[in-house]
């Protein structure tokens, strides 16, 4: 055997490990062939000048991992059970060990290209691995993944501007973080494993589900049992679970247009047949739903998705007559209403309107609650309230999705609500945000005069404003970015044609004294001419 082993006493790598690596590499690269005999541990230890026990240790590893095998009384051999096609190329080409990736090269000659086309008949996509140029093989992705890849995706700048108007962030600086962190540490110190493991707990930490049921009854006039509450990782997971439980490819789904992009993308990726329903100053236009009903025999969409408290993005509040009309329509056609009750906490004119889930008691409404806008987005906690007969299937879907949401935050949140911190915080923020909203509206009047139109009602944590400009939306966004302002046009929320010059201003987290100058800058940008 002319196989040389080098060991380097000064390399810092244990000697037995070096010997192991040397043999393993030689076997994988084909330099040592299947069935070839290895030197004895005695001979090797002598020739290398190291302890036999060290060599034995390496051989034990190689044995236990199947690279080599021992025949009683005959010695040690490279394992015969290693796949032959793995070894062949090295033997055929006489390659003596320069292969950087023997496994890959070995397998290449036998690779069959599975499908090189881009699109298959059923709409799924074949992809060509970009990993290695020599490995031309096709893998197919699911219809879902293909939909995700083929559609336009969201892109936001990763840079953080001085003033960020694009995202619905709460006023984090006002959050009672000391209280929260106190509870966090309290529960972190006594983490209790026994609270876990049971599939029944996929629906969430029971005391939190109880607190949320009581909270919803107090503030949203929703009467539900804790069994109907499913804790999820923010409203997006709520939307996702609803999508999976209710929608098959080709199913009719009605959504607001313009509407919330996170829901729209989820329904699209599931293959829903999206029916865009316009929104007016009273919210989703139920007459349009009725028109679909009249015009299509047996019309029976799986669901209608709405953001009634503060329509996303326009900011209108779904009026009570519309709410009742919507429920009545949904019952008639057998559609679920998916009520994304985003921004429900903040209404500055009158009390918050009771949720759809509070107006209906017949199991037509699936309620999605978010806490990201009330507490803080990084929390990743939200909840669903589902009709009782769907609680089990949603719990199973949640279990399969990720077992359960993180327990620690659920414990903290349960205490936070129980002790009254949540409602106290919401009350404080309602006053603060109302004040900030006024400043935004005033600044718009000051700088744009009558040119800027504020859409929507006095609610939520953002306003949508429309103003004329010679510049395109993209140009306005780009110039604002240069001026240190992050702003997003609502055009990506529209399914059909979108109006020009419509932007969302999220004000909850803005510093009061920054509002005026920020709007001033925007007005200068809007009034600039094209160059």
Q: Considering only residues 249 through 288, tell me which ones interact with a copy of itself, judged by CB under 8 A.
A: 251, 262, 265-266, 269, 282
Residue from 54, 405, 469, 489 binding a copy of itself (CB under 8 A): 405
Residue from 86, 219, 426, 495 binding a copy of itself (CB under 8 A): 86
Contact status: 313 vs a copy of itself (CB under 8 A): no
Cα 231 from Cα 381, distance rounded (Å): 7
DSSP class per residue in 89-104: HHHHHT--S--S-HHH
Q: Are 311 and 318 in contact (CB under 8 A)?
A: yes
Contact status: 478 vs a copy of itself (CB under 8 A): no
Contact status: 132 vs a copy of itself (CB under 8 A): yes
Cα 393 from Cα 245, distance rounded (Å): 8
Helix (H, G, I), strand (E, B) or coil at 517: helix
Which of 264/490 has CB closer to a copy of itself?
264
Residue 174's nearest CA partner among 433, 515, 438 is: 433
Cα 63 from Cα 78, distance rounded (Å): 9
Residue from 93, 225, 328, 446 binding a copy of itself (CB under 8 A): 328
Site size toward a copy of itself (CB under 8 A) is 138
Please report how close the Cβ of residue 528 comes to a copy of itself at its closest, in angstroms. Answer: 28
Q: What is the DSSP letter of 65?
A: T
Tokens representing 394 are: 């949603």
Contact status: 71 vs a copy of itself (CB under 8 A): no
Contact status: 176 vs a copy of itself (CB under 8 A): no
Contact status: 514 vs a copy of itself (CB under 8 A): no
Residues in 95-114 that interact with a copy of itself by CB under 8 A? 100-101, 103-104, 106-108, 110-112, 114
Which of 258/301 has CB closer to a copy of itself?
301
Tokens representing 201 are: 């707990």
Contact status: 232 vs a copy of itself (CB under 8 A): yes
Residue from 11, 93, 300, 435 binding a copy of itself (CB under 8 A): 300
Please report how close the Cβ of residue 219 comes to a copy of itself at its closest, in angstroms. Answer: 13
Q: Are 330 and 338 in contact (CB under 8 A)?
A: no
Q: Are 171 and 429 in contact (CB under 8 A)?
A: yes
Cα 391 from Cα 240, distance rounded (Å): 15
Contact status: 83 vs a copy of itself (CB under 8 A): yes
3-class DSSP string for 466-478: ECCCCCCHHHHHH
Q: How many residues does the chain have?
A: 531
Residue from 400, 419, 478, 514 binding a copy of itself (CB under 8 A): 400
Please report how close the Cβ of residue 263 comes to a copy of itself at its closest, in angstroms. Answer: 10
């Amino acid at each position: 055997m002319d196989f040389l082993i080098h060991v380097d006493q000064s390399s810092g790598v244990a000697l037995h490990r070096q010997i192991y690596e040397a043999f393993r590499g030689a076997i994988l690269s084909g330099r040592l062939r299947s069935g070839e005999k290895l030197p004895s541990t005695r001979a090797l230890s002598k020739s290398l000048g190291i302890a036999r026990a060290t060599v034995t240790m390496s051989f034990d590893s190689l044995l236990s991992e199947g690279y080599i095998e021992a025949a009683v009384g005959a010695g040690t051999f490279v394992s015969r059970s290693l796949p032959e096609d793995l070894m062949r190329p090295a033997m055929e080409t006489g390659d003596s060990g320069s292969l950087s990736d023997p496994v890959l090269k070995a397998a290449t000659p036998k690779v069959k290209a599975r499908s090189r086309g881009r699109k298959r008949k059923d709409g799924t996509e074949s992809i060509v691995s970009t990993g290695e140029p020599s490995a031309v093989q096709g893998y197919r992705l699911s219809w879902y993944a293909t939909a995700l890849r083929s559609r336009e995706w969201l892109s936001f700048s990763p840079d953080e501007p001085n003033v960020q108007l694009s995202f619905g962030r709460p006023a984090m600086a006002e959050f009672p973080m000391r209280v929260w962190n106190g509870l966090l540490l309290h529960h972190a110190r006594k983490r209790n494993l026994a609270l876990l493991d049971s599939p029944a707990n996929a629906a969430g930490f029971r005391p939190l589900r109880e607190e949320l049921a009581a909270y919803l009854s107090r503030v949203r006039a929703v009467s539900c049992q804790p069994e109907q509450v499913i804790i999820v990782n923010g409203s997006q997971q709520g939307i996702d679970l609803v999508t999976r439980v209710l929608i098959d490819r080709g199913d009719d789904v009605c959504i607001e247009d313009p509407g919330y992009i996170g829901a729209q993308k989820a329904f699209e990726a599931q293959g829903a047949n999206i029916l865009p329903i316009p929104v007016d100053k009273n919210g989703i236009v139920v007459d349009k739903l009725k028109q679909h009903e009249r015009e299509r025999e047996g019309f029976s969409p799986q669901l209608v998705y709405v953001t009634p408290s503060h329509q996303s993005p326009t900011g209108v509040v779904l009026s009570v007559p519309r709410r009742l009309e919507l429920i009545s329509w949904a019952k008639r056609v057998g559609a679920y209403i998916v009520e994304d009750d985003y921004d429900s906490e903040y209404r500055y004119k009158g009390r918050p309107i009771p949720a759809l889930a509070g107006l209906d008691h017949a199991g037509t409404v699936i309620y999605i609650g978010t806490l990201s806008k009330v507490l803080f987005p990084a929390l990743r906690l939200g909840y669903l309230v589902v009709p009782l007969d769907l609680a089990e299937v949603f719990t199973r879907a949640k279990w399969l999705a990720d077992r359960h949401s993180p327990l620690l935050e659920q414990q903290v949140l349960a205490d936070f609500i129980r002790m009254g911190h949540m409602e106290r915080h919401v009350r404080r923020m309602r006053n603060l945000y109302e004040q900030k909203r006024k400043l935004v509206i005033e600044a718009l009047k000051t700088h744009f005069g009558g040119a800027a139109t504020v859409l929507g009602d006095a609610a939520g944590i953002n306003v949508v404003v429309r103003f004329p400009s010679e510049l395109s939306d993209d140009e306005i966004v780009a110039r604002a970015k240069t001026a240190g302002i992050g702003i997003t046009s609502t055009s990506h929320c529209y399914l059909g044609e979108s109006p020009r010059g419509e932007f969302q201003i999220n004000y909850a987290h803005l510093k009061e004294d920054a509002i005026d100058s920020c709007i001033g800058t925007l007005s200068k940008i809007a009034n600039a001419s094209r160059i």
